[in-house]
């Protein structure tokens, strides 16, 4: 009775994407380990980006810095025009 726990950040993953993850994880266990899909459990847990950290920072802060960096060229371009 396999149990797969997938943790992802809560950033707009669609129902269709989650269904694909569940199918894919189940199919992998069936194909590789010959497990019964009827007794294969897949749980997807979405974690708030404030509660997920990488390299000493929350994902929220990382995403904010990425958004700021992405808009910086536009701001620099307007300033030099």
Active site residues: 2
Burial degree of 72 (CB within 10 A; 0-12, 13-18, 19+): exposed
Token pair 């980006």 is found at 49
Token pair 């904010």 is found at 64
Residue 13 DSSP class: -
CA distance 32 to 50: 35
């Amino acid at each position: 009775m396999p149990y797969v726990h997938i943790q992802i950040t809560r950033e707009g993953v669609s129902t269709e994407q989650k269904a694909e993850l569940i199918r894919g994880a189940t199919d992998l266990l069936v194909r590789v380990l010959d497990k019964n899909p009827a007794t294969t459990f897949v749980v997807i847990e979405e974690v708030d980006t404030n509660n997920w950290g990488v390299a000493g920072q929350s994902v929220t802060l990382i995403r904010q810095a990425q958004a700021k960096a992405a808009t910086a060229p536009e701001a620099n371009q307007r300033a030099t025009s």
